[in-house]
A and B are shown apart, each in its own frame.
Chain A
Amino acid sequence: MNDKGRKKIIVTFMLPMLLLYVVFQLYPIILNIFYSLLNWNGITKTANFIGFSNYREVLTDGLFWNAVRNSLLFAVIGTVLQVAISFFLAYLVEYNTFKHRKIMRLIFIMPIVATSATIGIIMKSIFSYDGFVNTIFSSLAGTKIEWLTEPKWAFLMILLVSVWKETGTLFIYWMAGFQMIPQTVIEASKVDGASEGAFVRYVLIPAMKPMIFTVGSIAFLNAMKVFDIIQTLTAGGPYFSTDMISTYIYRTAFSSSFGAPRLSYASAAAVMCLVFLIAGSLLMKLLMKRKAGRMR
């Protein structure tokens, strides 16, 4: 029919998105690689091309590896805790006939709405030396603990706070997932007189398996990206015990609290992490393919 009009509309309507995408997603990737080969602090007009020496330095930087290790540890443990706890809570709310179910749903979803930066600051107050948690803890145990300024506790605290915060999003995912289970399956298991434990184990979890995997991957990716709550709660401290890739890059590129910012160096670290991320996801895909192949 009107082929010219068709072409015109495809181009005009796609243009804004493609333009933004090229300028703010694709071009930055190239730019990042380019910066990583310079010795630029981000401020001066000139910079020298120094090849791969930033990469060499990043790979021998103990703080970089510390951040990588923390990020992985946080992502792995965090994902398991977040998925397990939110699933359990969602199950309790959705598969029982308690009163006030709607309000409970709202309560568990609410953390999404609260700015992560705000959460970080509120939690800082709650876990501070005289804060709420220590008030209860000291009345039970008799002593107070420096939850956020002692390395061994600080890491646990960011994990717990992340569970609290992420439950909001994951709860919605589980709600959506539960709705996708065919009603007949649930009724059939009721008719068969399955006990609650049997229902969860043999009906609910198998039915939710693909969903659990998807949600787990999303939670993992989000945990790898974590920045807001770390920066506001501990800023990577104490003694870099909660330093993540994101806080490491942020500090190196933008903050001058540790001397002059080193933009090129941070770029190299960012590119390095992207390479890890891509390698990691390719590896995951390969393993999945193998597993799927074996099952068949």
Chain B
Amino acid sequence: MIKKIVLFLGVMIWTAPFLIMLLIAFSSKNTNSFVELLSDNPLTFHNFITAWQEAEFSRYFINTVIITVVSVLIVLMVTALSGYIMGYFDFKGKKLISAVMMISMGIPTIFFTIPVYQILRMLNCDTSLIGMILAEVGGGHVIFILLFSRFFFSIPGALRESALLDGANEFEVFFKIMFPLATPMIGTVVITQSIWTWNSFLYPLILSVNKPEIRTLSVGLYSFQGENVVEWGNIAAGACITILPMLVLFVMFQRSFIQGISGAVKE
């Protein structure tokens, strides 16, 4: 019985923020005051329309989609290719590469922000979506490389050899045989990286400081909240717009996502 009460309280606490967000977003009373929100109060879509059109959340949405899709594709390719080599082949320097990668996993992003910002300036893309994509793609992604390499490690070496004997070249072996075999891993990487990129905050914040047009949803929401402290209705609507796509993606592909996250501790 006590366990039930505790769990019920837990569920309440973990759902309340989402419910309150919805309540404010759909309320016509543009307020944060809970008493006022509960008083007679017609539901409205008005906040969403304002956020989407006037507060430019439509633009932020498109930016975020572009950054997410492109980054995910690049990360997927880069990690699948290197994971395949790391798991399936033996070569000089392999141990060194994996050791360096493991160490860099613990370094906080903030340490890289200053030099990476300057590198992007040198490459002349510090104020464009390309810069944001590069910053996003430039991380280590060690977990995904591990995921792929462990998967390819489990595939018998004879598979590649017989394909090579049949006249396929190395590229065909990977793209026609190995890569399709890795479909479950691909799903995991795509879902996990999508959610991470979508939610990324630090780099987008730094790179869009002087260029509001390239803000992402999370930065757009943050800046909007900073500039319009009292517009709680629109802020909450913007928060819903930010969260909803990933929530849908998550509910649809829970299993892949959970697998991706738990991969980090199974080592």
Q: Is B132 an interface residue (CB 8 A)?
A: no
Contact between A113 and B243, CB atoms less than 8 A apart: yes
Q: Is B222 an interface residue (CB 8 A)?
A: yes
A112 to B258, CA, bound (A): 11
Q: Is B11 an interface residue (CB 8 A)?
A: yes
Indicate whether A24 sits within 8 Å of B258 (C-beta atoms), given known contacts A128-B32, A227-B201: no
Q: Is B20 an interface residue (CB 8 A)?
A: yes
Interface size band for B: 35 or more
A113 to B243, CA, bound (A): 7
Contact between A112 and B195, CB atoms less than 8 A apart: yes
Stretch touching chain B among A54-62, A117-125, A148-156, A197-205 = A117-125
Task: Name which of A17, A164, A172 has the most chain B CB atoms within 10 A of its CB.
Answer: A17
Q: Is B62 an interface residue (CB 8 A)?
A: no
Q: Is A87 an interface residue (CB 8 A)?
A: no
Number of A interface residues in the complex (CB < 8 A): 92
Which positions 265-280 of chain A face chain B at CB distance < 8 Å?
A: 266-267, 270, 273-274, 277
Contact between A218 and B265, CB atoms less than 8 A apart: yes
Residues of A within 8 A of B242 (CB): 115, 118
Residues of B within 8 A of A109 (CB): 250, 254, 258
Q: Is A92 an interface residue (CB 8 A)?
A: yes
Which positions 205-230 of chain B face chain A at CB distance < 8 Å?
A: 205-206, 209, 217-219, 221-222, 225
Please, which residue of chain A has its CB at the minimum distance from the CB of B192?
A112
Q: Is B44 an interface residue (CB 8 A)?
A: no
Stretch touching chain B among A6-14, A185-193, A288-296 = A6-14
Contact between B78 and A92, CB atoms less than 8 A apart: no
Please, which residue of chain B has its CB at the minimum distance from the CB of A36?
B114
Q: Is A1 an interface residue (CB 8 A)?
A: yes
Q: Is B184 an interface residue (CB 8 A)?
A: no
A270 to B111, CA, bound (A): 6
Residues of B within 8 A of A115 (CB): 198-199, 201, 217-218, 221, 242-243, 246
Q: Is B181 an interface residue (CB 8 A)?
A: no
Task: Name which of A9, A27, A111, A126 has the most chain B CB atoms within 10 A of its CB.
Answer: A9
Set B21, B161, B170: member contacting A8, Cβ < 8 A: B170
Contact between A116 and B201, CB atoms less than 8 A apart: yes
Residues of A within 8 A of B14 (CB): 107-108, 110-111, 164, 167
Contact between B89 and A28, CB atoms less than 8 A apart: no
Contact between A13 and B114, CB atoms less than 8 A apart: no
Please, which residue of chain B has its CB at the minimum distance from the CB of A88?
B6
Q: How far is the CB of A99 from chain B (nearest CB, A)?
A: 10
Which positions 15-38 of chain B face chain A at CB distance < 8 Å?
A: 15-18, 20-21, 24, 31-36
Residues of B within 8 A of A281 (CB): 106
Contact between B110 and A227, CB atoms less than 8 A apart: yes
Q: Is B79 an interface residue (CB 8 A)?
A: yes
Residues of A within 8 A of B10 (CB): 89, 92, 108
Contact between A16 and B78, CB atoms less than 8 A apart: yes
Set A92, A126, A130: member contacting B17, Cβ < 8 A: A126
Which positions 252-266 of chain B face chain A at CB distance < 8 Å?
A: 254, 258, 261-262, 264-266
Indicate whether A1 sits within 8 Å of B7 (C-beta atoms), given known contacts A21-B140, A115-B199: no
A128 to B201, CA, bound (A): 23
Residues of B within 8 A of A234 (CB): none
Q: Which 4 A-B pairs have the closest CB atoms?
A: A24-B138, A176-B262, A28-B115, A130-B33
